[in-house]
Chains A and B, each alone.
Chain A
Amino acid sequence: LAKTTQPISMDSYEGQEVNITCSHNNIATNDYITWYQQFPSQGPRFIIQGYKTKVTNEVASLFIPADRKSSTLSLPRVSLSDTAVYYCLVGGGSGSARQLTFGSGTQLTVLP
């Protein structure tokens, strides 16, 4: 299994850019990297997904270096409502859900 490692917590201020890195040294060739956001008492919600290089959507960017052993979620100009736990998930490419591995999550706290 592709074990993932993330920082346990991060603090930021409103309006700043936040970068959260996930380490996944054993990522398989066909695995994708997916990031989710989770608020208290809710299920995780999809943010962004990528395989290599850079992916950008309306809420975040995902940077994946050439060796794919890590990935960085970038949240531009965070607000108080971005306070949540962020998970990276590696897997899916092998076709077996058994290979899906969530990180332990990063608690992001945005301060005023």
Chain B
Amino acid sequence: NAGVTQTPKFQVLKTGQSMTLQCAQDMNHNSMYWYRQDPGMGLRLIYYSASEGTTDKGEVPNGYNVSRLNKREFSLRLESAAPSQTSVYFCASTDGGNQPQHFGDGTRLSIL
């Protein structure tokens, strides 16, 4: 029972490079989320997908794009990476509404 799987676990990029973070869930959840976590700032929502075929901006969407490829997969893309995007990125899924979220173990991204 894998739950939420994120790849890669670690990545180092140079400024201006592009990168896609992958997320897949095997719980048949409708909703999926991307967060970033920075020291002292908790988790901030980047984008979410309430259901397959829909995506919407969260609190900090600038510099990112997302794709809800199918019900299982939700990817996050950095088109032109910047040092300010150095962070730990978490993907989560839920059945929606007030249901608790299930998180992956994160992707640690460093941009030089």
Majority secondary structure of chain A interface residues (helix, strand, loop or mixed) = loop
From known contacts A98-B45, A98-B48, infer whether A46 and B40 are also in contact, taking CB-CB under 8 Å.
no
- Roughly how many angstroms separate A100 CA and B33 CA in the complex, as a whole number? 11
**B43 proximity list for chain A (CB < 8 A):** 44, 87, 102
B interface residues, tally (CB under 8 Å): 29
Contact among A41, A87, A98 for B56, CB-based, below 8 A: A98
B40 A104 Cβ-Cβ under 8 A: yes
Chain A residues touching B, range = 20 to 34
- B89 CB to closest chain A CB (Å) equals 10
Contact A97 B56 (CB under 8 A): yes
| B interface residues with partner A (beta carbon < 8 Å) | 4, 31, 33, 35, 40-45, 48, 50, 56-59, 90, 92, 96-106
